[in-house]
Amino acid sequence: MSLISFHRFLIATAIVFCFGFGLWEFNAVGSDGGARAFVLGVVFTLLGIGMTVYLRHLGRFLGYDEGSEPR
């Protein structure tokens, strides 16, 4: 496994965590979590969206051509 592939795996894991925790916090808003849970839900959902954009454009961020990655 190349370093780029491992990085993609870690970012994908972080995306799943962020969206999952965001949903968890949005669920907690209704059961006495209040404004704090809502803010955390929004923050982690935005982090998940940001990391999704990063993963989608990883080649451009790292400065390599997607087709030239060794396998």
Question: Tens digit of pLDDT for each residue in 14-69?
Answer: 999 999 999 999 999 988 878 999 999 999 999 999 999 999 998 887 777 666 55
The pLDDT tens digits for 2-23 are 888 899 999 999 999 999 999 9
How many residues would you count in the chain?
71
Tokens matching residue 16: 């799943």
Alpha carbon distance 23, 19 (integer Å): 6
Are 48 and 15 in contact, with CB atoms under 8 Å apart?
yes
Domain boundaries, the chain: 3-65
Q: Give the pLDDT of residue 27.
A: 93
CA gyration radius, the chain: 16
- Burial profile 25-61: b = 16 or more Cβ within 10 angstroms, e = fewer: bbebbeeebeeebeebbeebbebbeebbeebeeeeee
Q: Give the pLDDT of residue 66.
A: 60
